[in-house]
Amino acid sequence: MRNIDKVFVGLFGVAALLAGATGYKIVERYPVPGTGGWDYVGIDSPARRVYISHATQVDVIDADSGKLVGTIPDTPGVHGVAIASEFKHGFTSNGRENKVSMFDPENLQLIKKIDVGKGPDGIYYDPATKRVFTNNHGTHDISAIDAKTGEVLGTVKAEGDGEQAIIGADGLIYVNSENTAEVVVFDPKSLEVKKRFPIGVAKTPTGLAYDAKTNRLFIGAREEPKMVVMDAANGKVIANFPIGAGVDYAGFDPSSKLIFFSCSDGTLSIYHEKSADAYEDAGAVKTQQSAKTMAFDPKTKKIYLPAAEYDVAPAAEGKRPTRTMKPGSFVVLVLAK
């Protein structure tokens, strides 16, 4: 721990010099109709489409113009979208109905609905096994779906509430377990849990990014707000650094070695990976309060963050303040250099 502290102190002065050095800033605001809440935003870079979970539907916009392409309706409590381009299939995780909608990405029409575990949240596609996975918070497990047929093939006994996931260089899938403060590692073919890595220095992990070359996991945790760097081979925590409050998602750019964390306090925390065990603060970018989740476009290096403005009513006795989204305020912020 002392070594980590020394590294952080040594980098503190450098961090001040690097503030804003990445050049990222807000370059566009794409308006999106409606006032419902949202969760994940995803990008299909080759097709130039951005998918925004939005209450009971998914809004789809053009990644370059912001034009609304269409919507995928009837997705109650939708959290995220996964695209299996080779089969021309897309999938949404509908948390309130314990189902996944399988749709055609070309015309956004529903193909069928698939029963999965309770409370499907994060959803992702593994090209190697050609399977889609949903992290089910209600049953604390992960459903595996055949991306071609839509058939449920089995369940991973995660014993936790999975958030963001990445596919490792070893072919295994690494998932942040939000409620158990660990990284769960499973085999996407056998569906067996292979490893469980306690995070230790932080709790409530949500965002997760990965560098295949250094085999490092970058974990965004909410309690207390930190980036935790972990060796994906053995779960050893290499270092940890402060990030913004309310992190929900993470991204990584292999070419610039930049690590991104989108935070609801209105900051995009950015760190630079100098080597497998050395990191420096590249300067947080001011975004907008509520911009908690993001999508990184590997083609253009742009970052997309949904956000909205709210009216807050004072709390009644014994209750929390109520927030109401301002009509016409829902947008997707586009950050670029």
Q: What is the CATH number of domain 2-336?
A: 2.130.10.10
Rounded distance between C-alpha atoms, residue 293 and residue 272, angstroms? 20
Count of other CB atoms within 10 angstroms of residue 7: 17
The secondary structure element, H or E, covering residue 15 is helix 2-18
**pLDDT confidence of residue 184:** 98
Contact 197, 183 (CB under 8 A): yes
Q: What are the structural domain ranges in the chain?
A: 2-336
Q: What is the pLDDT along the chain (337 residues), one digit of tens a residue?
A: 433 343 443 444 334 334 458 999 999 999 999 988 999 999 999 999 999 999 999 999 999 999 999 999 999 999 999 999 999 999 999 999 999 999 999 999 999 999 999 999 999 999 999 999 999 999 999 999 999 999 999 999 999 999 999 999 999 999 999 999 999 999 999 999 999 999 999 999 999 999 999 999 999 999 999 999 999 999 999 999 999 999 999 999 999 999 999 999 999 999 999 999 999 999 999 999 999 999 999 999 999 999 999 998 887 787 888 889 999 999 999 999 9
329 neighbors 284 (Cβ within 8 angstroms): no
Predicted pLDDT at 20: 59
**Contact between residue 68 and residue 29 where contact means Cβ atoms under 8 Å apart:** no
Distance CA 96, CA 79 (A): 10
Tell me how far apart the alpha carbons of residues 58 and 49 are, in angstroms, rounded to a whole number. Answer: 12
Q: Is the Cβ–Cβ distance between 320 and 46 less than 8 Å?
A: no
